[in-house]
């Protein structure tokens, strides 16, 4: 009896997959979704903590990508293109979202909230959870554009050039927005601290 050898399936080049999607292949689009869904979820998770809402925004992101696939020119990696769509979908979500105001004690906010948020480790201590709630509340009081620029620049540590590419803003506009957003966030946190006393 002879053993039948299976030829290993060749991993498709992303440009081939995109070409198949342009021809209407939903299977090829499914492959793109599989390849990039973790990245999209990571981006969206920076803007929304509710898992169900993140899934909804991710679905909107991929629907927008499907509809706009003809606009992808291949000059930059597909990951960058889908990341821009995800950031814009998050911005749209923030613009539409009704902000809920909650009373949160300010006593446990530490000096390094942004450092704590940058870490990938889960912090289970009550102080860390309260600090996250306080920062979320303060961020929710910012405009969607201010929230996006603070998240991309301070939490995700993106460069000004990357942010300009993802949002469509000029580099100067990103710097100005970031400066103003930081000042607004500082005032909000100071006010929350005063109100908490």
CA 165 to each of CA 1, 106, 120, 142: distance values in angstroms, whole numbers, following the listed order: 59, 36, 25, 22
pLDDT, position 91: 86
CA distance 64 to 53: 16
For residues 196 and 105, the answer to whether their CB atoms sit within 8 Å is yes
CA distance 186 to 183: 5
Average pLDDT across the chain, whole number: 78
Kind and range of the H or E element at 140?
Answer: helix 126-140
Interval 14-35 mean pLDDT: 89
- For 162, residues 6+ apart whose C-beta sits below 8 A from its C-beta are 152
Q: Which residue has the tokens 């599989």?
A: 34
Work out the angle between the directed axes of helices 26-45 and 51-67 (0-180°, nearest 10): 140
CA distance 138 to 183: 12
Least confident of 49-53, 108-112, 184-188: 108-112
- pLDDT digits 0-9 by tens, 50-95: 889 999 999 999 999 999 998 998 888 899 999 999 999 998 888 7
CA distance 26 to 138: 41
Q: Select from 86, 178, 93, 83 the least CA-distant residue to 144.
A: 93
Q: Which residue has the tokens 């105001």?
A: 101
- pLDDT digits 0-9 by tens, 113-147: 555 444 544 445 546 677 777 788 888 888 888 98
Enter the tokens of residue 57.
């925004």
Least confident of 9-18, 45-54, 90-99, 105-114: 105-114
pLDDT, position 154: 81
Model's pTM, two decimal places?
A: 0.56
């Amino acid at each position: 009896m002879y053993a039948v050898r299976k030829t290993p399936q060749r991993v498709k080049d992303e440009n081939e997959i995109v070409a198949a999607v342009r021809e209407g292949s939903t299977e090829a689009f499914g492959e793109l979704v599989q390849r990039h869904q973790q990245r999209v979820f990571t981006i969206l998770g920076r803007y929304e903590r509710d898992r169900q809402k993140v899934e909804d925004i991710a679905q909107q992101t991929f629907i927008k990508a499907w509809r706009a696939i003809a606009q992808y020119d291949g000059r930059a990696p597909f990951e960058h293109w889908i990341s821009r769509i995800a950031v814009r979908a998050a911005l749209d979500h923030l613009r539409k979202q009704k902000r809920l105001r909650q009373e949160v004690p300010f006593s446990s906010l530490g000096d390094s909230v942004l450092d704590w948020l940058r870490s990938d480790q889960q912090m289970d201590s009550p102080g860390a959870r309260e600090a996250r709630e306080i920062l979320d509340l303060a961020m929710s009081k910012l405009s969607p554009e201010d929230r996006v620029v603070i998240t991309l620049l301070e939490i995700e540590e993106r460069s000004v050039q990357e942010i300009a590419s993802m949002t469509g803003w000029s580099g100067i506009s990103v710097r100005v927005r970031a400066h103003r957003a930081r000042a607004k966030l500082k005032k909000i946190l100071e006010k929350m601290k005063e109100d908490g006393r």
